[in-house]
A and B are shown apart, each in its own frame.
Chain A
Amino acid sequence: MSESVSDAELVERFPWVQITHDSKHHFRGWLDKQLLINCCGDCGKFHHPPKPVCPDCWSENLVPTPVEGKGTVHLAMHLHQGAPAPGVDYAAGPHPVVAVDLEGTDGVRFSSTVVGVPVEEVVIGLPVELDWVERYGHPFPVFRPRGRRREG
């Protein structure tokens, strides 16, 4: 799958994020619908966004590790205006943006939006799980309230 995607193609598929040598594994993971968070192969600590060495022990033995993506909303805001993106219509209502404390990652947070729930219900403390939607024709990681499955 994403293994066959060249670095140049990877950058082309996500023109709206800055991909580096250090974060390319994370974004390749998106193409496979896998949320990869760097875990240190030596000390076992997670960190995000991806860094060139483990901030705790400076090991370069970093393992992009698939995480389940369950967590709790730690930060939340509702954008009444913001950058344009497909499927985001500020005129139709505020767009929720959250930072989620990911379970089992020593408090690493991952930021995205929440789907499948009215924006008023996107609040701090909401239990969420990872899901994937399409954006610009490629998988994009989002959250949805835990226990509520996608319709259809």
Chain B
Amino acid sequence: MARRNPMRDEIAIVGVGSTEFSRDAGGVSPAKLGAEACIAAIRDAGIDKAEIDGVVGALEPGAPRANQMSAILGLNDITHHSSPMPVAVFALVDAMTAIFSGQADTVLVYYAFTRAPWNSRSAAQDPFRSYLGGMMSGGLKAPPMPESIDPSAAYTAWAQRYIHEYDVPRETFGRVAMNMRANAARNPKAAMKTPLTMEAYLEARMIRDPLCMLDMDIPVDGADAFILTTTERAKQLTPNPVVVHTATAGMVGRNDEDQLPSLARHGQHVVVEALKERSDVWTDDIDVFFPYDGFSIITLGWIENMGFAKPGQAGRWMLDHWDETLGCVMIDGRVPMNPHGGSLSEGASRGTGHLREAVMQLRGQAGERQVHDAKTALIGCGGFFFNSQGAILKRL
């Protein structure tokens, strides 16, 4: 049964701004990085800042909230603002619905990331990041117990379940990491560009067995920003705007990380059903594929749950579609998977990197990564528990 999708193609992304992603941007605050990306996005859209009447900025540790960013940039007369939690499509959908409903006409969306003392040695030495330490424990007076299956640990736990159910080798996960690294080498903004071999993957430091440090997104300093408005207004700015065909979140009721029903039923399945029911296009029609890769297991989930491969077959599928020359997946020899390098190698952007690259590809501005005449992009954002999301972007 088709679902309503009154927003179909009605909201456009007309501006993109991004810093480069770095494992150590030096003495720069997330507010500065965020401001830099926002200013770039507003200039890229070719609008005056007075036109912005909505601000949506994600709740990233240390990043300025929407009200703070409005103060930083001197944005006046804002009629919609919010600070949704990560990952990226929460902010995208919030901005879209604000515009579609008339709460605002032109919305600035931004994410700013900063390495925290607990995931970066150099960050631990920056006194201006020390306050972030308290955020890790969530206000507890002692470190949380090692046995809490929090969202990060949970992906490892479910990765082991995946290995158990489908009897796949670690190389399946390594193939995901190699795809991202090879693509990142073609992206000037990426944090990790050194080539990655399967041997190096298998020897990388184990963090939570079965996942090693190369299965986890790389903490970075950086920021991405976007300007959204009505497609009607977008056509005044550019002849072929990039529009959101559909976007959705997805979640099951039993979403506590260790209580999830199974690998066969979680948020990604809800996303896929909603996208298919609201969309005119699906996997055969796309030119670029963006499966989120905050953890490598999430990518395997998207490949299978989007229907590219059968359950347990994502590893086999990647090999079947592997381009030896480029060192990455090219679906049917044509469609790349996270051509910007994803969160594993471009940097942990909570999916804004995927969204930004989708826009650049559809605009034909992706440099040496450009897919010829790319018109449609499919994004599977977030993981299994509370932040599964999806979006389909098109060039009109």
Contact = CB atoms under 8 A, between A and B. Distances in A.
A23 interface: no
A16 B140 contact: yes
Interface stretch (A1-9, A60-68, A79-87): A79-87
A52 interface: no
What 5 A-B pairs come out closest when comparing CB atoms?
Answer: A75-B157, A78-B209, A99-B258, A15-B141, A16-B142
B144 A97 contact: no
A16 B157 contact: no
Contact of B208 (A55, A78, A88, A108): A78
Contacts of B370: none
B259 A108 contact: yes
A143 B259 CA distance: 18
Given A16-B140, A16-B142, A49-B256, A75 B160 contact: yes
Interface stretch (B37-45, B53-61, B145-153, B314-322): B145-153
B327 to A, nearest CB: 28
20 contacts: A15-B140, A16-B141, A16-B144, A55-B254, A75-B161, A77-B209, A78-B208, A81-B208, A82-B146, A83-B145, A85-B146, A94-B209, A97-B153, A99-B157, A111-B147, A111-B148, A111-B149, A112-B147, A123-B164, A135-B145
B306 to A, nearest CB: 24
A136 B159 CA distance: 31
B388 interface: no
B146 A18 contact: no
Interface in A7-50: 15-18, 48-49
A68 to B, nearest CB: 19
Interface of A: 15-18, 48-49, 55, 74-85, 88, 94-95, 97, 99, 108-109, 111-113, 123-125, 135-136
Given A75-B157, A82-B153, 4 more contacts: A15-B140, A18-B139, A80-B209, A88-B146
B156 interface: yes
B50 interface: no
Most chain B Cβ neighbours within 10 Å, of A81, A95, A97? A97
B204 to A, nearest CB: 11
B74 interface: no
B27 interface: no
Contact of A74 (B161, B206, B256): B161
A17 B140 contact: yes
A77 B144 contact: no
A46 B91 CA distance: 35
A113 B142 contact: no
B23 to A, nearest CB: 19
A83 B160 contact: no
A75 B149 contact: yes
Given A55-B253, A76-B160, A99-B258, A85 B209 contact: no
B210 interface: yes
Contacts of A49: 256
Nearest to B209: A78
A86 B217 CA distance: 29
A26 to B, nearest CB: 14
B142 A15 contact: yes
A128 to B, nearest CB: 14
A55 B156 CA distance: 27
Contact of B160 (A77, A80, A85): A77
A55 B253 CA distance: 8
B138 A76 contact: no
A132 to B, nearest CB: 14
Given A77-B210, A85-B145, A124 B160 contact: yes
Contacts of B142: 15-16, 136
A98 B358 CA distance: 38
Contacts of B253: 55
A79 B208 contact: yes
Contacts of B164: 123-125
Nearest to A140: B145
B385 interface: no
Contacts of B256: 48-49
B141 A81 contact: no
B113 interface: no
B119 to A, nearest CB: 11
A97 B160 contact: no
Contacts of B139: 18
A85 B143 contact: yes
A135 B256 CA distance: 25
Interface string B122-151: 000000000000000011111111111100
A76 B157 contact: yes
Given A80-B207, A108-B259, A97 B143 contact: no
B158 interface: yes
